[in-house]
Structure 1
Amino acid sequence: MFAEPEFWVAVAFVILMGVFVYVGVPRTVLKTLDHRSERIKAELDQARQLKEEAAKVLADYKARHASAEREAEAIIAAAKAEAERIAAEAKTKLEDFVARRTKTAEGKIALAEAQALTDVRAAAADAAIAAASTILSQSVKGEVADNLLAKGITEVREKLN
């Protein structure tokens, strides 16, 4: 039995384990493992906390994104409504402008017609006066002719104007 190498390996192993226990290697190993376990647990807690914070930040950004989209849609809708209002307003103003210009043009045409009618009447009166004075000057002579001529001219002017 003492000659067997396995026996001496077992004895050396028991002695080595005894030295390890005497020196405190198991306490040190257990303490190191406990520290490592605590560090891993702390890292897992920190990772869980960071994951929760990341989830909160993601939810916040999603809410902000949705809010920004709603705001952009509202701005677009308001801009479309404003554009339609401006277009309707411009159309109304254009129609009013055209109506005013048409009315002004019609007024100018009516004024020109009235002026032309007045000019034609004045020309007709002048022609009638000239004709009457020519006819009367040839047929009537003297003071009676002059009085009759003046009276006739006055009446023609009053009636034609």
Structure 2
Amino acid sequence: MVAYAAETAAGGHESFWVTPEFWVLVAFVLLIALAGRKVVRTITAGLDSRAETIRARVEEAEKLRGDAQELLASYQRKQHEAVKEADEIVEKAREEAARLAERAAADLERSLKRREQLAMDRIAQAETSAVEQVRGLAVNVALEATRRVLTDNLPQDKADGLVDDAIKELPEKLH
């Protein structure tokens, strides 16, 4: 450089491409250009790879988000169906309880009517039995009274005949 400066100062003009500095500059620019291409390709490939990885992750995240939303919607539908089914079960249980209560009331009513009828039948039977006993007793009393009246006022053979005739006619008159 000092030599170039001295020559230039002395008035000599050498071409600039003849100087070693020019060729160093050219070599440096070529080196940077060739190496830069590879570096740019490598950097570009790395960035493209990174962008593809990020794009794949974003797509996977979007897919997972969609799956999660579908799953959430599915669970919400199932929960809604479960609540609806539970409400239906409760309603059916209430209806069944009401039906069973009505049935129990009807069964109790029939049972009470049956018992009342049995009691009425027993009372009627007891009344019938009492009436028959009173009738029998009345017949016996009437027969005894008749026998006494007849035996006291009538001769014995005539009184016995009348009593026997009255006893024979008695069943026809009572029924």
Same fold (TM over 0.5): yes
Matched to 2:133, the amino acid is D
8 Å CA contact 1:137–1:145 kept in 2: the answer is yes
Matched to 1:115, the amino acid is S
Report the counterpart of residue 30 of structure 1 in structure 2: 44
Q: CA RMSD in A?
A: 2.7
Could you list the runs of 5+ residues in structure 2 that have no partner in the other structure? 1-24
8 Å CA contact 1:136–1:145 kept in 2: the answer is yes
Report the counterpart of residue 20 of structure 2 in structure 1: none
Distance 1:125 1:35, change over 3 A: same
Shift of the alpha carbon at 1:139? Answer: 2.8
1:44 pairs with 39, 42, 58, which one?
58
Report the counterpart of residue 104 of structure 2 in structure 1: 90
Identity of aligned residues (%): 33
Shift of the alpha carbon at 1:123? Answer: 0.8
8 Å CA contact 2:150–2:159 kept in 1: the answer is yes
2 CA distance for matches of 1:82 and 1:148? Answer: 76
Matches within 5 A, 1:71-110: 71-110=85-124
Report the counterpart of residue 8 of structure 1 in structure 2: none
Could you list the runs of 5+ residues in structure 1 that have no partner in the other structure? 1-10
Q: With structure 1 as the length reference, what TM-score do the two structures score? A: 0.79
Report the counterpart of residue 3 of structure 2 in structure 1: none
8 Å CA contact 1:129–1:156 kept in 2: the answer is no
Number of residue-to-residue matches in the alignment: 149
Shift of the alpha carbon at 1:118? Answer: 1.0
Matched, 1:136 2:150: yes
Shift of the alpha carbon at 1:54? Answer: 0.6
Shift of the alpha carbon at 1:70? Answer: 0.7
Shift of the alpha carbon at 1:59? Answer: 0.7
Report the counterpart of residue 150 of structure 1 in structure 2: 164
2 CA distance for matches of 1:91 and 1:20? Answer: 105
Distance 1:80 1:142, change over 3 A: closer
Distance 1:142 1:124, change over 3 A: closer
Distance 1:23 1:142, change over 3 A: closer
Question: Structure 1 segments of 4 or more deviating over 6 A?
Answer: none
